[in-house]
Amino acid sequence: MALNVIMLGPPGAGKGTQAERFARARGIAKISTGDMLRAAVHDGTEIGLRAKTIMDRGELVSDEVMIGIVRERLNRNDARAGFILDGFPRTVAQAAALDELMKCRDPLIILDIVVPEEELVRRLSTRLICKECGHNAELGHIDVTERCVICGGELIQRSDDSGTVVLERLRVYRTATKPLVDFYRVRPTFRSVNGAQAPDRVAADLAAAIVEVGSH
């Protein structure tokens, strides 16, 4: 049975970090729509050029574009054997489209990572990512002299992790994405995990939740 996982939770909840660890541990595809968009911006593609201004404001790229990107990605061979989605779905329309894409596939496991808002603001305003590979540095403080543990690249602050953009992203989360918790809560494969713990503890809770909802 393929392990098909989505992670809900606000920006800064640790979705990216946990998805990366989980995908590596289980040998499944990690699909991060934020990473895909940042790569498109970096490469200067048409989607990247259009997405950049939206991302810099902390708003959401259109459902149509996002659903197209995810549909194409889920159809690739590696994702057929299982995946963990980070940052998608972010709206009820995206969630409904994902249900359509999942017809004839193993059921979705939905993990919601819960973190109080004060903690999110603190985390987002101090996090750094690698300029080269996009890896999240788990520093908890701004230290630009450190290098990426994956590729040795320079660590920088994400352009949307500063000041008012963080507050806008949290507002967008509350209005557009949080309703997904109610959309999914009724499913037997939905679990909430406390994300305000050390990353190892969160990883252990996520793994336990997956064991509980399916026989993985």
- Contact set with ligand AMP (CB under 6 A): 11, 33-34, 37, 54-55, 58-61, 66, 87-88, 90, 94, 160, 169
Q: Cα–Cα distance between 24 and 71 in angstroms, integer?
A: 22
User: How many Å apart are CA 166 and CA 151, to the nearest integer?
Assistant: 27
The residue (of 55 and 209) whose beta carbon lies closer to ligand AMP is: 55
Q: Is 191 a catalytic residue?
A: no
The nearest distance, CB 59 to ligand AMP, in angstroms, is 6
Nearer to ligand AMP, 14 or 82 (CB): 14
Q: Tell me whether residue 171 is one of the annotated catalytic residues.
A: no
Given the residues 158, 171, 185, 187, the one annotated as active site: 158
What token pair was written down for 156? 């920088």
Min. distance of Cβ 130 from ligand AMP in angstroms? 13
DSSP type of residue 143: -
Q: How far is the CB of 212 from ligand AMP (least distance, A)?
A: 26
Kindly state the smallest distance separating residue 135's Cβ from ligand AMP, in Å.
Answer: 12
Marked catalytic residue, from 30, 38, 52, 90: 90
Q: How far apart are CA 78 and CA 39, in angstroms?
A: 19
How is residue 144 written in tokens?
């630009």
Instruction: Tell me, yes or no, if 90 is annotated catalytic.
Output: yes
Q: Is 105 among the catalytic positions?
A: no
The residue (of 132 and 214) whose beta carbon lies closer to ligand AMP is: 132
For residues 88 and 183, which CB has a smaller minimum distance to ligand AMP in the complex? Answer: 88
Q: How far apart are CA 28 and CA 8, in angstroms?
A: 18
Q: What is the number of the residue whose Cβ is closest to ligand AMP? A: 34
Largest alpha-carbon pair distance within the chain?
Answer: 48
Three-state DSSP state, 156: strand
**Bridge partner list, 83:** 4, 29
Q: Based on the number of CB atoms within 10 Å of its own CB, is 97 exposed (0-12), middle (13-18) or buried (19 or more)?
A: buried
Active site residue 147: no
Cβ atoms of residues 41 and 48 within 8 Å: yes
Residues annotated catalytic, as ranges: 15, 90, 127, 158, 169
